[in-house]
């Protein structure tokens, strides 16, 4: 990673700043209030194309010069947008063909944002031209801390199905398969009369009479993620040419299916993410914790940026519940605990006009005499005290395997059941979170040898290399826990035959003879060491034991008496298999058992709703509860936020946070 630029010391704090939406007379007040809140980093220019370039050619950027000068004078760094997230009306008028087309053939109109086809040459050329002009003008500006290319790639238009995209897809397929008969073989052309005899017959998976060819869908997902990435890369080249020392990022969206973050993150200098947990969801802190861990993981464990969150409510859900008092702070400090080195919001000043005027801002419509503003200044002060944490790493002994290609294939049509990967990841993540166990997400082909425990939730598609990697990890002493519907197909979405999961039968000491998903909402009782009351949900595998020990058996139905969850020694390690999704309590016990078998320390001193995360020499203890909670810290420690010595007994207030200095 290139260093962040001199403007940001300690933990970054700020938000999207859209001064072009306000009269220039408010700018001085903005900067004064930013200083009051401890803001040291703002994102500028993300949606400014029509103001930066009202017509093709030169920038009309005097206003932006003045904004950046003001910020630089106040010591505030700028994460500068390339401005290309939404094409301006003149570009659309000159090139209607840049408007994206949906799978059912509708051309989307301008009037909101992100209305571009990523494969459209006119769009790409205009975007690179703007990025280049921005870089030429601002690469030497003292406020410039980081480049922010486009915005939330794929958020509204993850793929385009227009004729130009179809041509680009065909080129991509030609490069991948070379020969048409290779494509026909990979896509199973013999099924449903789909053998192509010429490349120009091949189309994107547009709206069809019934479910489309899943291999075609998978390739189109690969292609579409790649087309967006090509847009990013072209802009990145343009800015990096002018400012090679300035880090370049684009903001990811957490567990967002269209964009393959492992592939993308390799092209970023610093990973960044937008995180909008729903305050109406009592467990929203779990999803946001996963988002943080994912961003750290795709960024190779290096410090990352929380690029956006809402200081209070958003405007884009059906009902937009505000954050509870203290929730903005607790979730911000969660991001720092999980390796974030900057905490930014959308947006600095709540808008008075346009589509996002009911989205909260750090400076609300009500002004500074407001709860939100008091929380904003309070958090700024907290983050100032956390400067010693900046740059430190989060060590994880546990990894969950995640592969976007498998995700795309898993959620294609015509499968035994509608598994949703995010929900499954959350099920396996919850007990780790509760036990204060740091968890990374890892690509199946990445180096796993630094972990003790690897979880494999519904890794439907796996390459030879990935399958072998899991075997090697286990045989060399690791503990592995694999769930149902893993290792089912190869990268061409072709079933691996002979009993599931073919690449891991020997590892697991079993074969799955048949898949037996449960009807929605149904449960099946389970027997075994977990005690009475255990149940399976979602799925049942019909398991033939080939050496594995059953830990739980089905207790009713056709499969009564047969193994549901197993354990098998393999080489110097151990492999667990879950042929069903156990209820939360049972899963908690199994995950703890796997942790213990792996030598991973689990905490039992963390009450529900409280999170404990170790980052470097600090232990973050964060309550997500709206009532006080008593903790036993097991000793006395220094709290970085208050400089008090606390413990062993502590009463943590509603959504209270401690950042304890740990010596070991
Ligand atoms: C996204 C976008 C921002 C803004 C926020 C609102 O994260 O990147 O421009 O629209 O959503 O929540
Ligand atoms: C999506 C994204 C958010 C935000 C909204 C509003 O839902 O997840 O980050 O951008 O759109 O446009």
Closest of 129, 121, 215 to residue 163, by C-alpha = 121
- Nearest atom in ligand 1 to the alpha carbon of residue 151 is 8
Ligand 2 binding pocket, CB closer than 6 Å = 152, 155, 253, 274, 276, 316
pLDDT of residue 2: 44
DSSP string over 221-263: HHHHHHHHHHHHHHHHHHHHHH-TTS-EE-EE-SS-TTS-HHH
Angstrom distances, CA of residue 270 to CA of 42, 173, 318: 16, 31, 33
Is 375 a pocket residue for ligand 1 (Cβ < 6 Å)?
Answer: no
Ligand 1 contacts CB of residue 152 (under 6 A): yes
Compute the distance from residue 82 Cα to the ligand 1 centre, in Å.
16
Decide: 289 and 396 in contact? Cβ < 8 Å: no
The per-residue pLDDT for 257 is 98
Residues 554/540, Cβ–Cβ less than 8 Å = yes
Task: Please name the residues in contact with 107: beta carbons below 8 A apart, sequence gap of 6 or more.
Answer: 96, 99, 100, 101, 162
> Is 162:204 a contact under the CB 8 Å cutoff?
no
Cα 416 to Cα 518: distance, rounded to the nearest angstrom: 10
Class of residue 261 by CB neighbours under 10 A (exposed 0-12, middle 13-18, buried 19+)? buried
The rounded Å distance from CA 275 to ligand 1 centre is 10
145 three-class SS? strand
Q: How far apart are CA 35 and CA 363, in angstroms?
A: 13
How far, in Å, from the CA of 419 to the mean position of ligand 1? 28
Which strands form 479-483's sheet, in the order they lie side by side?
A: 439-442, 398-401, 453-456, 479-483, 573-578, 563-570, 549-554, 523-528, 535-537, 581-582
CA distance 492 to 461: 9
Instruction: Report the residue among 253, 308, 317, 351 best suited for mutation to probe ligand 2: largest number of ligand atoms under 8 A from its CB.
Output: 253
3-state DSSP: the chain helix, strand, coil percent, rounded to 5?
35, 20, 45
Low-confidence residues in the chain, pLDDT < 50: 1-2, 5-6
For 1, the 3-state DSSP assignment is coil
Q: For residue 315, what is the DSSP state?
A: S
Ligand 1 pocket member 308 (CB < 6 A): yes
DSSP for 12-52, written as a single string: EEEEEE-GGGS-GGGHHHHHHHHHHHT--EEEE-TT-HHHH
Residue 532: the pLDDT is 73
Q: From residue 151, how far is each of 61, 228, 298 by CA, in Å?
A: 20, 11, 18
Q: Decide: helix, strand or coil at residue 146.
A: strand
C-alpha span between 248 and 549 (Å, rounded): 50
Residue 116 near residue 87, CB atoms below 8 Å:
yes
Three-state secondary structure readout of 606-654: CCCCEEEEEECCEEEEEECCCCCEEEECCCCEEECCCCEEECCEEEECC
CA dihedral sign of residues 454, 456, 461, 464: positive
Please report the atom of ligand 1 found closest to the CA of residue 310. Answer: 12
Mutational pocket test of ligand 2: of 316, 344, 355, the residue with most ligand atoms within 8 Å of the beta carbon: 316
Residue nearest to atom 5 of ligand 1 (CA): 346
Centroid of ligand 1 to alpha carbon of 301 (angstroms)? 25
CB 486 within 8 A of CB 459: yes
**Structural element, H or E, at residue 196:** none
Q: Are 114 and 85 in contact (CB under 8 A)?
A: yes
Of 114, 390, 134, 383, the closest CA to residue 248 belongs to 134
Q: Which two tokens stand for residue 43?
A: 């994102």
306 alpha carbon to ligand 1 midpoint, in Å? 13
Instruction: Indicate which residue of 152, 356, 375, 411 is catalytic.
Output: 152
Ligand 2 atom showing the smallest separation from residue 315 Cα: 6
Indicate whether this model's pTM tops 0.85. Answer: yes
| Cα(316) to centroid(ligand 2), Å | 7
CA-nearest residue for atom 2, ligand 2, is 155
- Atom 5, ligand 2: which residue's CA is nearest? 316
A 10 A CB-CB count for 494 gives: 15
The CA–CA distances, whole Å, from 103 to 97, 168, 326, 403 equal 16, 16, 43, 24
Closest ligand by atom to 156 CA:
2
To the query of whether residue 308 is one of the catalytic residues in this protein, the response is yes
Say what the pLDDT of residue 6 is: 43
| Catalytic (active site) residue 356 | no
In this structure, the residue with its CA closest to atom 3 of ligand 1 is 346
Q: Pick the catalytic residue: 132, 227, 235, 308?
A: 308
Ligand nearest to C-alpha 15:
1
CA distances from 377 to 39, 370, 381, 595 (A): 9, 11, 6, 40
In the reported structure, the alpha carbon of residue 487 is separated from the centroid of ligand 2 by a whole-number distance in angstroms of 33
User: What is the rounded distance in angstroms from the CA atom of residue 486 to the CA atom of residue 453?
Assistant: 17
Is 485:460 a contact under the CB 8 Å cutoff? Answer: yes
- For residue 434 and ligand 1, the question of a CB distance below 6 A is answered with no
> Token match 């080939």: residue?
546
| CA torsion, ordered 605, 607, 611, 613, to nearest 10 deg | 0
pLDDT at position 8: 76
Distance of alpha carbon 487 from alpha carbon 489, whole angstroms: 6
Q: What are 517's two structure tokens?
A: 């998903």
Q: Is 55 left (phi over 0), alpha (psi -120 to 50) or beta?
A: beta
């Amino acid at each position: 990673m290139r260093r962040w630029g001199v403007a940001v010391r300690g933990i970054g704090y700020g938000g999207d700043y859209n001064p072009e939406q306000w009269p220039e007379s408010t700018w001085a007040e903005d900067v004064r209030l930013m200083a009051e809140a401890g803001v040291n980093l703002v994102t500028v220019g993300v949606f400014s194309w029509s103001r930066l370039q009202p017509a093709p050619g030169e920038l009309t950027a005097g206003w932006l010069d003045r904004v950046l000068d003001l910020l630089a004078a106040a010591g505030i760094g700028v994460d500068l947008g390339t401005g290309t997230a939404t094409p301006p009306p003149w570009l659309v008028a000159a090139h209607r063909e840049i408007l994206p087309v949906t799978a059912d053939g509708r051309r989307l109109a301008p009037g909101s944002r992100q209305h571009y086809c990523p494969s459209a040459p006119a769009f790409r050329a205009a975007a690179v031209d703007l990025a280049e002009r921005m870089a030429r003008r601002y690469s030497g500006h003292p406020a410039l801390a980081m480049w922010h290319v486009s915005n939330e790639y794929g958020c509204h238009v993850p793929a385009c199905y227009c004729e130009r995209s179809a041509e680009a897809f065909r080129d991509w397929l030609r490069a991948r398969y070379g020969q048409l008969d290779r494509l026909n073989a990979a896509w199973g052309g013999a099924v449903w009369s789909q053998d192509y005899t010429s490349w120009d017959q091949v189309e994107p998976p547009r709206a069809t009479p019934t479910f489309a060819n899943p291999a075609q869908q998978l390739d189109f997902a690969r292609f579409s993620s790649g087309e967006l990435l090509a847009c990013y890369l072209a802009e990145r080249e343009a800015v990096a040419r002018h400012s090679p020392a300035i880090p370049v990022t684009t903001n990811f969206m957490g567990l967002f299916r269209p964009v393959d973050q492992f592939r993308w993150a390799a092209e970023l200098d610093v990973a960044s993410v937008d995180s909008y947990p729903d305050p109406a969801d009592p467990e929203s802190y779990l999803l946001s914790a996963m988002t943080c861990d994912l961003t750290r993981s795709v960024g190779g464990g290096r410090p990352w940026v929380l690029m956006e969150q809402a200081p209070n409510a958003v405007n884009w859900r059906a009902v937009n519940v505000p954050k509870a008092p203290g929730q903005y702070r607790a979730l911000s400090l969660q991001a720092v605990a999980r390796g974030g080195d900057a905490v930014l919001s959308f947006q600095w000043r709540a808008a008075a006009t346009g589509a996002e005027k009911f989205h909260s801002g750090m400076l609300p419509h009500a002004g500074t005499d407001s709860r939100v503003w008091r929380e904003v200044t309070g958090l700024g002060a907290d983050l100032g005290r956390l400067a010693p944490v900046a740059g430190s790493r989060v060590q994880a002994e546990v990894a969950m395997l995640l592969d976007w290609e498998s995700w795309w294939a898993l959620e294609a049509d015509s499968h035994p059941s509608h598994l949703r990967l995010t929900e499954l990841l959350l099920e396996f993540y919850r007990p780790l979170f509760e036990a204060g166990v740091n968890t990374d997400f890892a690509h199946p082909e990445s180096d796993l040898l630094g972990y003790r425990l690897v979880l494999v939730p519904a890794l439907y598609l796996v390459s030879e290399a990935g399958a072998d990697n899991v075997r090697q990890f286990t045989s060399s002493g690791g503990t592995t826990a694999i769930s149902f519907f893993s290792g089912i197909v190869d990268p061409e979405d072709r079933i691996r035959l002979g009993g599931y999961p073919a690449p891991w039968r020997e590892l697991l000491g079993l074969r799955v003879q048949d898949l037996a998903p449960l009807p929605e909402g149904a449960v099946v009782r389970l027997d075994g060491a977990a005690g009475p009351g255990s149940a399976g949900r979602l799925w049942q595998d019909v398991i033939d034991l080939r050496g594995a020990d059953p830990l739980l058996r089905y207790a009713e139905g056709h499969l009564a008496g047969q193994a549901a969850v197993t354990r098998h020694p393999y080489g110097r390690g151990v492999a667990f298999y879950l042929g069903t999704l156990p209820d939360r309590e049972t899963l908690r016990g199994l995950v703890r058992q796997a942790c213990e078998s792996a030598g991973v320390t689990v905490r039992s001193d963390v009450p529900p709703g409280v999170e404990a995360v170790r980052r470097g020499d600090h232990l973050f203890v964060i309550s997500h509860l709206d009532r006080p909670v008593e903790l036993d810290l097991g000793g006395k420690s220094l709290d970085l936020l208050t400089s008090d010595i606390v413990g062993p007994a502590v009463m943590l207030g509603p959504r209270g946070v401690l950042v304890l200095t740990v010596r070991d």
